[in-house]
Chains A and B, each alone.
Chain A
Amino acid sequence: FLGAMFVPMQLFSPLIRNREIIRIYSTAYNFHGRHFCCQPQQLNPIPLKASLKKTTRPNNPAVCRVIAGPPHQYLQIKDYKTSAQRCYLTPPQVNSILKANEYSFKVPEFDGKNVSSVLGFDSNQLPANAPIEDRRSVATCLQTRGMLLGVFDGHAGCACAQAISERLFYYTAISLLPHETLLEIENAVESGRAVLPILQWHKHPNDYFSKEAAKLYFNSLRTYWQELIDLNSGESPIVKEALIHAFKRLDNDISLEAQVGDPNSFLNYWVLQVAFSGATACVAHIDGINLHIANTGDSRAVLGVQEEDGSWSAVTLSNDHTAQNENEVNRVHSEHPKPEEKTVVKQDRLLGLLMPFRAFGDVKFKWSIELQKRVLESGPDQLNENEYTKFIPPNYHTPPYLTAEPEVIRHELRPQDKFLVLATDGLWETLHRQEVVRIVGEHITGVHLQQPISVGGYRVTLAQMHSLLMDRRARTTSVFEDQNAATRLIRHAVGNNEFGAVDHERLSKMLSLPEELARMYRDDITIIVVQFNSHIVGAHHKTST
């Protein structure tokens, strides 16, 4: 059946050329789509001795090291070796790959409105799948205070992650709005007036929104706020509940849209793609010193705390929803009858198939068998030609097996909380959270505490000083140095050698992997690093205590 799981690649990744699909098919049997497959394959660094032995052949050790890791031998290794030798990347090339998706946003200290506890954020992503299945979103709430940041890790295609990245924040923001504002928005829409802007997005040019589905999404969203208006409890929304409600509601809407379909054939196909693929989400809502993390799946949020002695420590603010989380396994067991205990979690996977225990989409784990069949029968032909969609997970007795309900953790920011890292599992698999916090901590303090220049009695001409200053500025804005903390993390995640330092050769090799092989050595990585304004947080803290 595993083979069958990957047939949808044809369906969901139309961008991949036919010829490649066959190759991917064969490799993916074991490696593609970590969520579906066996244990992640770590890049086992070879022992120091071994690498020293190989230093006589300057070009090859890294290659050997890389390929020495995986337990199985493949035909492709040969191809890879030759291609890797051919495509040795120079530092600027490495940088252009690493920086292609990097984005930074600095919250203006005086924007005329609120003083924000967020200084700004850095984000970046590095694809391993083609196309990348991770998504990220950041937006400022305009009608309430606060900022929303999220990373989304898609599986079985990127459709679901894409939809979540566009829609989830609207659902969250709407859930947070007071009744009057909802009424005002509804009245504005009703009378065709301009609607109050709800979110201000901070997007990288590569983070796109689908134009075709916008109308559909908007209608679903409007139904949601109309229901919220009718349900008016008279109380202002609580962030935690709003987040949970928004997550569940969006998942529900995704499911409903797929059941109802759309007269537009492209959209009809799209909503099915969204529903049949899946995505995990890890979202942070920051308002003043109140930090909420809503997590569904196995992405993670880690807080960087600077101790009094200047050292860094990591505080994890989310729980992974995987088989490694005992509570989560117990939860799943409790939701299904006793006889299913052995089948519902098998080989550390849900029904032996799915790695995250909570996710958006993935209706194959949520709908009843009848519903799945009915939707497929009325669905477009492309869907029926597909083996995967017809496939029903084994031991599928008491759906739903999967939920999108997030676990929300609230944290009150303290002055020592300097930053927050949100990242998909691609990062956490390669770097320990302590290491992540150390790298980011050193990065941000390094940028801020650049050694000041002092003339101090030396004979310096203006021209010398000027060129020195220009150098310094060039260095801080250099393309060779990472200004972006997320880029630096990726550099470490991909290029770290056995000593925890970035090895350019290794980095270059890892980045020049051919598309079809990349996924074997690393997962998609998406990172958002949010930096807090300790000044403001401290002030808040003082007034609140």
Chain B
Amino acid sequence: MRGCCAVQGRALPRILSDAWWWTRGPRWQSLCRWRRGTSTATEAVPTSLPTEARVVICGGGIVGTAVAYHLSKLGWKEILLLEQGRLGAGTTRFCAGIVSTVKHRSIETKMADYSNKLYQQLEQETGIKTGYVKSGSLSLAQTQDRLISLRRLVSRLNVVGEKCEMVLAAFGPLFEVPDLTYRYRVNNTPLRLGANSFICGALAANRIGVQIHERTSVTHVLVEKGHVIGVETDRGHIDCDYFVNCAGQWAYELGLSNEEPVTIPLHACEHFYLLTQPLQPPLQPSLPVITDLDGRIYIRDWRGGVLSGGFEKTPKPLFTEGRNQLEFSNMHEDWDQFEPLLSALLRRMPALESSEILQLVNCPESFTPDMRCIMGETPNVRGYFVLAGMNSAGASLAGGAGRFQALWGVFHPFSVFFSPSNRMWPLDIKRFGALQSSRTFLRHRVMEVMPLIYELKVPRWDFQTGRQLRTSPLYDRLDAQGARWMEKHGFERAKFFVPPAKDLLALDQSKTFYKPDWFDIVGSEVKCCKEAVCVIDMSSFTKFELNSTGDQALELLQRLCSNDLDVPVGHIVHTGMLNERGGYENDCSVVRLNKRSYFFFLNSPIFPCAGSSQHTRENLIFSCVVTLLLSFLALNLIGPRAVDVLSELSYVPMTPDHFPSLFCKEMSVGYANGIRVMSMTHTGEPGFIIYIPIEYALHVYNEVMSVGQKYGIRNAGYYALRSLRIERFFAFWGQDLDNFTTPLECGREFRVKFDKDTDFIGREALLFQRQEGVTRRFTMFILEDHNTDLDLWPWWGEPIFRNGHYVGTTTSSAYSYTLQQHVCLGFVQHFDLETGERLVVTPDFINRGEYKIEIGGQCFRAKAKLYPFSNLFAQKWQKDAMELGDVQSK
């Protein structure tokens, strides 16, 4: 799983306790005015609820008001915002954020950027000073690895227009830096929001026609035929077409209270920050937000004093057994828990020792299993939207404490929420399956996620909690043979196999940005795939069957798939299912089992529905019978000798005449009969995939291993597969492809049959694109002057430069053991140098550029290729010959 890189913190204006807020708040008066002005909607004795509305938004925190504001801006009418307590009384009251556009994902940067603008706009609209300051931020690196992670971040941010630099930081007299190995800083321009920013939003929303009702709690949402039809509140029933769950920490339970439960995987942890009395002289607001990642703290000014909090190593998860608001507002300070952070703060700012404590605020935050926020329409109930886990995600994405920033950032994606036009998949609620919603899982996972926010994030890290949830029937067998595991959607996948008598470093020590310790192990697995035969357990990949009584299956698939599926029985077709924009909803291989049934094989462990649009889902569900084949083991036999192993096991000739490539047959393997064998692999190597009902799994595996012994068979893991597929320029959905990538953009036009009888979804968009030309193109890069042993390894998200200009970022990379060079895959765009407009990318444009890829601040020459090598070995020989030639000429 990909993770976010370490990002630095941003400041956060926060609001104190209730008392502080209402009596001493500097903008108390304006607040009162505001309350009076909108008394019809927000007084303690509210007017009666309307009985119907177009949209009901649950949650009057920053998220809910933001959504309401934005919807009404978009021209929606009859928007109703319900809040169980008072507006902004939940997490919002306690916490306020630092806004920074420093983001790991482009979508998040865009959200943040949008919020900046919106913020200023809000001030004009409402006339309320929100008191934000542009202060800049500063991240400290205490270790070499931390420095690398910051460098990677800087190179990523600079190309998207954020000003960052690595400088030796100049510190004020307040700071001590004896233990800092590296005093670098990342300069950027975060905003800090004033305490009442959200009031501002609410006011703005109210002015443009949003009805706000406080002290109204939603008991459950009414669903009919899979669509929201209304909500039940403690004050009556309301009919509505859309429901937006912005209930923050309560979102999980609200989701479960439905008749048809909606799972919103998030869990709260206690989070503490300290406020001090004003210093003498008072701290200036111009002080940048300081993030001491290794000390796990952030520091900023707060009314002349210091506000400092952090993400401790041993978080306290809470509300595992449910929650209520009473508990929430009575959170206690826990100084013992805060002690490590206080020590870190005093180490960094010894001068603070004499300053007085104002308060230690306990502000629970919710976290999601993958550190990203949750938004979008739920997969099982139409019209039910979620925008929650926002706090946690805000905090996590930002890598710092800022939540407002993400909260305000909501505006932007939310505007496109109902007509998606942006790359939302990383944040979409559909990325989760039901398996991530176990309370125990969430509790354990957030205990890992919260410290991870400031933890050093290195390539290829895996979550350690919530593991071994879904495993292949061979799990124990492979584990005993030295398998090391990674997890994808709860499914354990072997990364590689540690040979006996070879020890790898412990988990903690193997964290590196450079060449990893498994390099040679994966190398020998790859070699075995190329020269002999390897077995890879592919059970984690989704597979399902589609059956119908008549021709419905074919009709449906012809409509859904871009390739022509009216093929002879037994043939395998690689195809994508596209959306109206021509983007990939998924990428799969389809086998025609007989006239009326098809077999699907996806390269990810999620059901395609997760990524598919509404109509796809409905059609799949209502017109044909879909069987998820969870009880099958998929074994991939890769390598030139795979043929020999299989023919020996089945006594059936497996030569290309009898068993052509991309073909599927049922045959016997060992004693097991009726095993589905397909002549295809996911890497482009020769080989087969065998589908085995799990009761035969051990038998077939044992047979394959014992027969294969004389052909040099061995287990291989996912890393070998990855290296093989990347050097062959195979794109994977979810890593390289998303639902905005069209087949034309990644060189797969040959898998699109424009002239087939049926008008498949996305055809029009593709035809248009074919005429106009693509604005981005999937390209393969071979790093030329990169030293595998000494240089930083590419990961993903590295900027690509063409003739010195930024043209895109990489999406995945791997070391190619055949080419003995690194291969990166990524998209190249063509920006007009003057206007920044996106122009058409032609093959000529790609081929005629000098490319460089920047890894952690260092640029490497790269050769761009639009099509895979026809013969990798030839390429290697050429290279060897050239090197030999060089040696001889010298």
Binding site for B on A (CB under 8 A): 109-110, 112-113, 115, 188, 193-194, 196, 450, 452-455, 459-463, 465-466, 468-470, 472-473
CB distance from B759 to the nearest CB of A (A): 49
A115 to chain B, nearest CB (A): 6
Q: Does B157 contact A (CB under 8 A)?
A: no
Q: Closest B residue to A196 by CB, please name it.
A: B480
Contact, CB under 8 Å: B467 / A462 = no
B873 to chain A, nearest CB (A): 35
A463-B354, A469-B336 are known contacts. Are A110 and B448 too (CB-CB below 8 A)?
yes
Chain A neighbourhood of B360, CB < 8 A: 455
What residues on A are CB-neighbors of B346 within 8 Å? 462-463, 466
CA distance in complex: A453, B337 (Å) = 11
Q: Is A112 a contact partner of B468 (Cβ separation < 8 A)? A: yes
Q: Is B333 an interface residue (CB 8 A)?
A: yes
Q: Contacting B353 at CB < 8 Å: which of A112, A466, A468? A: A466
> In the docked arrangement, what's the CA distance between A470 and B448, Å?
25
6 further interface pairs, Cβ-Cβ under 8 Å (given A109-B447, A463-B353, A470-B339): A110-B444, A112-B467, A452-B336, A453-B335, A469-B342, A473-B336
Interface residues of B in 332-351 (CB under 8 A from A): 332-336, 338-339, 342-343, 345-346
A460 surroundings in chain B (CB, below 8 A): 356-357
Cα(A109)–Cα(B345), bound, Å: 29
Q: Which one of A109, A115, A452 lies within 8 Å of B334 (CB-CB)?
A: A452
Give residues 258-278 of B contacting A (CB, 8 Å): 276
Q: From residue 456 to 513 of chain B, which have CB atoms closer than 8 A to chain A?
A: 464-468, 476, 480, 500
Q: Chain B's nearest CB lies how many Å from the CB of A70?
A: 48
Q: Tell me whether A194 and B500 are in contact (CB under 8 A).
A: yes
Q: Would you mind naming 7 contact pairs between A and B with Cβ atoms under 8 Å apart?
A: A110-B447, A194-B480, A194-B500, A461-B353, A462-B354, A465-B342, A470-B343
B333 touches which of A454, A459, A461, A470 (Cβ 8 Å): A454
Cα A196 to Cα B338 with chains together (Å): 42
Contact B468 A459 (CB under 8 A): no
Q: Which residues of A contact B332 (CB under 8 A)?
A: 452, 454
Q: CA of A113 to CA of B333 in the docked complex: distance in angstroms?
A: 33
Query: Which one of A110, A452, A455, A472 has the highest number of Cβ atoms from chain B below 10 Å of its Cβ?
Result: A110
Assuming the A-B contacts A196-B480, A469-B336, A473-B339, are A112 and B465 also in contact, with contact meaning beta carbons closer than 8 angstroms in the complex?
yes
A477 vs chain B, min Cβ distance (A): 12
B355 with A462: CB separation less than 8 A: yes
Q: How far is the CB of B495 from chain A (nearest CB, A)?
A: 15
Closest to B354 in A: A461
- Let me know if B468 and A465 touch, CB within 8 A: no
A193 to B482, CA, bound (A): 11
The answer on a CB contact under 8 Å between A466 and B467 is: no
What residues on A are CB-neighbors of B444 within 8 Å?
109-110
Question: In the assembly, what is the distance between CA of A27 and CA of B357, in Å?
Answer: 66
A462 touches B334 (CB 8 A): no
Does A455 lie within 8 Å of B357, measured CB to CB? yes
- Residues of A close to B356: CB separation below 8 A: 459-462
Q: Is B875 an interface residue (CB 8 A)?
A: no
- Measured in the bound complex, the distance between the Cα atoms of B357 and A460 in whole Å is 6
Compute how far the CA of A196 lies from the CA of B359 in the bound complex, rounded to whole angstroms.
Answer: 54
B-side contacts of A193, CB under 8 Å: 480
Most A CB within 10 A of own CB, among B332, B357, B360, B468: B357
Q: Which residue of B lies closest to A109 (CB)?
A: B444
Selected contact of B335 from candidates A109, A115, A465, CB within 8 Å: A465
Please give, as numbers and ranges, the residues of chain B lying within 8 Å of A473 by CB-CB distance: 336, 339
Bound CA–CA A463/B345 (angstroms): 11
How many Å lie between the Cα of A473 and that of B335 in the bound state?
Answer: 11
Q: Which of A113, A455, A463, A469 contacts B468 (CB 8 A)?
A: A113
Contacts of A455 in B (CB 8 A): 333, 357, 359-360
Nearest CB on A from B339, distance (A): 4
Bound-complex Cα distance A470 to B444 (A): 28
Question: Does B352 sit within 8 A of A, measured CB to CB?
Answer: yes
What residues of chain A lie closer than 8 Å to B276, measured between beta carbons? 462
Query: Which residues of B are found within 8 Å of A188, using beta-carbon distances?
Result: 480
Cβ of B655 within 8 Å of any chain A Cβ, yes or no, is no
Tell me if B440 counts as interface (CB < 8 A to partner A): yes
Write out the residue numbers on chain B whose beta carbons fall within 8 Å of the beta carbon of A465. 335, 342, 357
For the complex, what is the distance from the CA of A50 to the CA of B480, rounded to whole Å?
69
Q: Which residues of B are found within 8 Å of A452, using beta-carbon distances?
A: 332-336
Cβ–Cβ contact A466 & B333, under 8 A: no
- Complex CA gap A184/B468 in Å reads 21
Q: How far apart are A144's CB and chain B's nearest CB, in angstroms?
A: 13
Query: Is A469 in contact with B354, judged by CB distance below 8 angstroms?
Result: no
Bound-state Cα–Cα, A473 to B467, Å: 33
Top 6 nearest A-B pairs (CB, nearest first) are A463-B353, A110-B444, A112-B467, A469-B339, A453-B335, A110-B465
In the complex the two chains form, is B465's CB within 8 Å of A462's CB?
no
Contact A466 B343 (CB under 8 A): yes
B465 touches A461 (CB 8 A): no
B445 to chain A: closest CB distance in Å? 8
Cβ of B448: which chain A residues have Cβ within 8 Å of it? 110
Give which listed residue, B335, B359, B476, contacts A469 with CB less than 8 A: B335
For residue B791, give the distance in angstroms from its CB to the closest CB of chain A.
33
Q: Are B342 and A466 in contact (CB under 8 A)?
A: yes
- Please name the residue on chain A nearest to B463 by beta carbon: A112
Rounded to whole angstroms, the CA-CA distance of A410 and B472 in the bound complex is 35
CB neighbours (8 Å) of B464 from chain A are 110, 112
Q: Could you tell me the distance between the alpha carbons of A113 and B464 in the complex, rounded to whole angstroms?
A: 10
Which of A455, A459, A472 gathers most chain B CB within 10 Å?
A: A455
Closest B residue, CB atoms, query A468 = B335
B306 to chain A, nearest CB (A): 9
- Measured between C-beta atoms, what is the minimum distance from A283 to chain B in Å? 27
A197 → B minimal CB distance (Å): 10
Bound form: Cα–Cα A113–B447 in Å: 16
C-alpha spacing A463/B352, complex, angstroms:
8
- Among candidates B357, B447, B500, residue contacting A462 with C-beta atoms closer than 8 Å: B357
Chain A residue contacts of B500, Cβ below 8 A: 194
When C-beta atoms are compared, the residue in chain B nearest to A465 turns out to be B357
* CB of B542, distance to nearest CB on chain A (Å): 24
Asked if A462 contacts B359 (CB within 8 A), the reply is: no
Which of A112, A113, A188, A459 has the most chain B CB within a 10 Å cutoff? A112
- Note all chain A residues with C-beta closer than 8 A to B353: 461-463, 466
Contact pattern, B 349-372, Cβ under 8 Å of A = 1, otherwise 0: 000111111011000000000000
Q: How far is the CA of A472 from the CA of B346 in the complex (A)?
A: 18
Pairwise interchain contact B440-A115, C-beta atoms closer than 8 A: yes
Question: Whole-angstrom distance between the alpha carbons of A452 and B333 in the complex?
Answer: 8
Roughly how many angstroms separate A193 CA and B480 CA in the complex, as a whole number?
9
| Complexed CA–CA distance, A473 and B356 (Å) | 21
Q: How far does the Cβ of B261 sit from chain A's closest Cβ, in whole Å?
A: 19
Instruction: State in angstroms the CA–CA spacing of A470 and B500 once bound together.
Output: 46
Please judge, given known A-B contacts A112-B465, A194-B480, whether A461 and B339 are in contact too, CB under 8 Å.
no
A113 CA to B500 CA, complexed, in Å: 24
Distance (Å) between the CB of A467 and the closest chain B CB? 10
When chains A and B are docked, how far (Å) is the Cα of A109 from the Cα of B468? 15
Q: How far is the CB of A318 from chain B (nearest CB, A)?
A: 33
Please, how many angstroms separate the alpha-carbon atoms of A472 and B343 in the complex? 14
Q: How far is the CA of A194 from the CA of B482 in the complex (A)?
A: 10
Nearest residue in A to B467 (C-beta to C-beta)? Answer: A112
Residues of A near B352 (CB, < 8 A) are: 462
Contact of A450 among B336, B339, B343, B345 (CB under 8 A): B336
A113 to B465, CA, bound (A): 9
In the bound complex, residues from chain B placing their C-beta under 8 Å from that of A113 are: 467-468
B355 neighbours in A (Cβ, 8 Å): 461-462
Interfacial chain B residues near A453, Cβ < 8 Å: 333, 335-336
Contacts of A112 in B (CB 8 A): 464-468
Chain A's nearest CB lies how many Å from the CB of B330? Answer: 13
In the assembled complex, the Cα of A110 lies from the Cα of B317 at a distance in Å of: 13
Which residues of B from 305 to 336 have beta carbons under 8 Å from A? 332-336
B487 nearest CB across to chain A (Å): 10
Whole-angstrom CA separation of A115 from B338 in the bound complex: 27
Docked pose: A470 CA to B332 CA in angstroms: 20
Which chain A residues border B335 with CB–CB below 8 Å? Answer: 452-453, 465, 468-469
